[in-house]
Chains A and B, each alone.
Chain A
Amino acid sequence: MTTTPAPETVESPLVPSFGDVDSGRKLAIICSKGNLDMAYPGLILANAALGEGIETHLFFTFWGFDMINKKTMGDLKFTMLGNTATHLPQGLGGLPGMTAMATHQLRRTIADLGVPDVPEFLQQIVDSGGHLWACRMSADMQHLELDDLYDEVEAIISASDFIEKTAGAQLLFI
C-alpha cells in the first residue's frame, strides 16, 4: 500500500512494506487453561497478531473460563506443582503458602516488564480490535451466564459456531 514515488526523487524511495490493507489473515486462539502462567501465551500472541493487523478471535473453554469469569479473572494462580520447569524439588510446591508465593513472584515479574494483568490485557486486546468468545458447554457446566463474564466477551457460543466464525483462520490451542 506504500510506495507512491514523490516527484523530486531521483530513484524509487526505500519504504518499509506494511502489507496489504486487508490481507485476510485470521488467527483463532483457544484458551483452555486457568493457570496464571498459561493465561499469558494466548494473550501475548493475540496482542501481537492484532498489532500486525491480523483479525484475531479468542475462545475461552474449560479452565480457560477462569480468564473471563469476573470472579476469578483477577486472581489466577501459578503453582510449582507438576511444573518441572521451575527446576525446584516438587515437594516444595506442596508446602503451605508456596502457591501464593509463586503467584506473587510471577505477578511481580510480569508487572515489572510492563505487561498488564489479565483483565487489563483483555481490555487492551478488545481495544486493539480483538474478539472474545465464551464456550457454551463450559458456561453450562459452571452455571454461568454472560453477565458473570467479563463485559467485553461478545457472546457465549457453541464450539461449532466458533469454528464457523474462524473459517480459514490459523489456530492455536493453549
Chain B
Amino acid sequence: MPTTIIDGHEIQVDAEGFMTELEEWSEPLAKSLAHQIGLELTDEHWKAIRFLRSDYREQGETATLRRISVVGGIPTKELFALFPQKPAKKLAYVAGLPKPHGCV
C-alpha cells in the first residue's frame, strides 16, 4: 500500500488515495482531507463524519447514503448539499474509510 503526506500527516492509502488504516485518522487530519477536495467542514459535515465513523466500527463497512439518511438521520438532500456531486465517496474519504460497497 502506498503512503502519502497530507498537511504533514503521513498516512497509508489505497491506489486511489482512500485511507486504509482506521487508526491513522484524526479530526485535524479530516480537515486537511476535506481541504484537499475543496470542502470546509461545518458542524453539519462533522455530524455526518462522526456517524460514518461510529457506524463503521459497529458494522465493519462504510454506510451508504441510504443508511446515513435512515439510520444516521441526515436527509439525503442535505448530504448532497454538504458533499456535492459524489456525497458517499467524498464523505468516506474525509472520514478516512473505504468507499461504500452497497448499491443502495
Which A positions have Cβ atoms within 8 angstroms of B?
1-4, 6, 8-11, 13-19, 21, 44, 47-48, 51-53, 113-116, 121, 124, 127-129
Contacts and interface: CB of A to CB of B under 8 A. Distances in A.
Contacts of A4: 35-36, 38
B85 A19 contact: yes
Nearest to B70: A114
Interface of B: 2, 4-8, 13, 16-18, 32, 35-38, 64-67, 69-70, 75-77, 80, 84-90, 93, 102-104
A130 to B, nearest CB: 11
Contacts of B35: 4, 6
Contact of A18 (B4, B5, B70, B89): B89
Contacts of B8: 6, 8-9
A47 to B, nearest CB: 6
14 contacts: A1-B37, A2-B38, A4-B35, A6-B6, A8-B7, A10-B5, A17-B16, A18-B37, A18-B86, A51-B65, A51-B87, A51-B89, A115-B104, A128-B76
Given A44-B103, A127-B75, 18 more contacts: A1-B37, A9-B5, A9-B6, A10-B5, A13-B4, A13-B17, A13-B36, A14-B17, A15-B6, A16-B18, A17-B16, A21-B84, A21-B85, A51-B86, A52-B85, A114-B70, A115-B103, A127-B77
B85 A53 contact: yes
Contacts of A48: 103
A47 B76 CA distance: 11
Nearest to A50: B80
B17 A113 contact: no
A53 B86 contact: yes
Contacts of A116: 66, 104
B104 A113 contact: yes
B104 A47 contact: yes
Contacts of B69: 124
Contact of B5 (A3, A11, A17, A44): A11
A51 B77 CA distance: 11
Contacts of A53: 84-86
Contacts of A15: 4, 6, 17, 36-37
Nearest to A9: B5
B45 to A, nearest CB: 15
A20 B16 CA distance: 16
